[in-house]
Amino acid sequence: MAAWIYLFVSLVGAWFTWNAHFPRRSASLGVPSFFAGWLTAELATHHIAWQALATLVFARRGALRRWPGKAGLLVTLASWVGLGAIVVTSRRAKDVVEDAVSGALGPDFRDEITGEQRAMLDRPALRSRSIVPFLLSDPGVSVIRNIRYAEGAKRRHLLDVYHPKAGTSGAPVLLQVHGGGWTIGDKAQQALPLMNHLTSRGWVCVAANYRLSPKATFPDHLVDLKMAIAWIRSNIAEFGGDPDFVCVTGGSAGGHLTAMLGLTAGDPEYQPGFEDVDTSIAAAVPFYGIYDFTNSRHVHGNHGMGQFIEHVILKVAEDEDPDLWRRSSPMFRVRPDAPPFLVIHGTHDTLAPVGEAREFVAALRDVSRSPVAYAELEGAQHAFEVFHSPRTAHVVKGVSEFLCWAHGRYSKERRSGLGQPRAAAAMSPERTAPSTQG
């Protein structure tokens, strides 16, 4: 019996490996394929470890003395070869991101990064991260939670501020926008490796909730995030941040909203009641986003996305209001004065088609006067950087360098007198009593 059980366990492990290499993108299998491939591709060494442990346990029970056990061992060895290939591929992310950033910014872009920022970036990451990938706190970071940034939806108009425990002043600011298909998600769940990395190196990070569909209808989500930027302009100096330098990042639906924030600065349609507030951003880093609701480039493999957007997000058919569908799509909002962009997407993403990222980058590069970097990560699934992994570490480092370059350029302009102070936010929403987590 032990031999047969071991064969079954080996086949399950091999399926996870196979799925990580060849994910399914159909409407019915895309989500389960994502979950299985996501955990396998980012935790390949951990999969090798549990399969090795299972092999040892079953060997001690005599499973390898019978032919099903021997077959299971061959299957496991083949799985290890596949997992080893995943490990090698994930480590290539270092070169991919470096080439993307240096290709867009120039080979000497690090010269723009201030000496203080360079010194902090060179600090090594905690070694425990590769062993305990879900350890998502940092001893050098304090988090002030549940600050109200606007009146209205009590549970959704809240944000968290991450700041260095040692204190800071005039620090660059990053706004993180969570994903979840515009319908689920929370500010405390995503981009923690990136936010902790930057905060422990002198940045101030803000993670904001926003109203969710189906109760909310787009552009409610975007309006809320612009209100969060307005709050940052008025209040972030209290936490050591510079209100004049705000970057934004986010993944999936958060990637869509990140791109929209970067491309709709000052648009009164999305700033009702606070039209005069400066909501421009210094740089945008969308991860695996949706950039074209209309699917004008025909890169969506099925019609599920369009139906979901129609019934849940926009609540109007495209043929009834085609202009709304286009206005809600970053693909059609590209503009010459867009901020610098670093777009990141994985080749194995089963939830957001990588082809759409390519098309968005091409459209943005055609018109933007700012650099547009694009890192396409071989073998990466959706949400790959939510927890620690070798690929996450390389991408976090590359994103940090890109953002520090943007801050270095901003600092240089301020020193030379070219930079203009940003407009003061016209909103000063009431702040709730925060809770602090070290």
Q: Which two tokens stand for residue 257?
A: 């909203």
Task: Identify the band that residue 303 occupies on the pLDDT scale cut at 50, 70 and 90.
Answer: low
Question: Given its phi and psi angles, is residue 222 left (phi above 0), alpha (psi -120 to 50 degrees) or beta?
Answer: alpha
| Beta strand 284-287 pairing with 241-251 | parallel
Q: According to the model, what pLDDT value does residue 333 have?
A: 98
Task: Identify the band that residue 118 occupies on the pLDDT scale cut at 50, 70 and 90.
Answer: confident
Q: Which two tokens stand for residue 103?
A: 């290709």
- The pTM (predicted TM-score) of the whole model is 0.92
Evaluate whether 186 touches 253 at the Cβ level (below 8 Å). no
Sign of CA dihedral 14, 20, 24, 28: positive
Q: According to the model, what pLDDT value does residue 126 have?
A: 63
Whole-number Å distance between alpha carbons of 337 and 369 = 6
Would you say residue 423 has pLDDT above 50? no
Task: Identify the band that residue 437 occupies on the pLDDT scale cut at 50, 70 and 90.
Answer: very low
Q: Which two tokens stand for residue 138?
A: 């940092």
Q: According to the model, what pLDDT value does residue 127 have?
A: 63
Please, what is the end-to-end C-alpha distance for the chain in angstroms? 50
Count CB atoms within 10 A of the CB of residue 139: 9
Q: How far is CA 49 from CA 35, 52, 252, in A?
A: 19, 5, 30
Looking at the annotation, which residues are catalytic? 252, 349, 382
Would you say residue 203 has pLDDT above 60? yes
Would you say residue 436 has pLDDT above 50? no
Q: How far is CA 183 from CA 156, 186, 313, 331, in A?
A: 12, 10, 8, 22
Q: According to the model, what pLDDT value does residue 245 have?
A: 98
Q: According to the model, what pLDDT value does residue 117 have?
A: 83
Q: Phi and psi of 343, rounded to 5°?
A: -100, 130
Indicate the residue type of 360. F
| Beta strand 241-251 pairing with 341-346 | unpaired
Count CB atoms within 10 A of the CB of residue 154: 9
Q: According to the model, what pLDDT value does residue 115 have?
A: 84
Q: What percent of the chain has pLDDT over 90?
A: 81
| Residue in the structure block whose two tokens are 């800071």 | 168
Whole-number Å distance between alpha carbons of 264 and 222 = 10
Q: How many residues does the chain have?
A: 438
| Per-residue pLDDT reduced to its tens digit, 396-421 | 999 999 999 999 999 988 888 765 55
Whole-number Å distance between alpha carbons of 189 and 181 = 14
Ordered by start, the domain boundaries in the chain are 2-90, 93-437
* Cα diameter, the chain: 78
Q: How far is CA 306 from CA 14, 78, 360, in A?
A: 34, 39, 18
| Per-residue pLDDT reduced to its tens digit, 17-71 | 999 999 987 767 778 889 899 999 999 999 999 999 999 999 999 999 999 999 9
Would you say residue 128 has pLDDT above 70? no
| Per-residue pLDDT reduced to its tens digit, 67-95 | 999 999 999 999 999 999 999 999 999 99
Sign of CA dihedral 234, 238, 239, 243: positive
CATH class belonging to 93-437? alpha beta
| Residue in the structure block whose two tokens are 């990140």 | 258
Evaluate whether 13 touches 81 at the Cβ level (below 8 Å). no
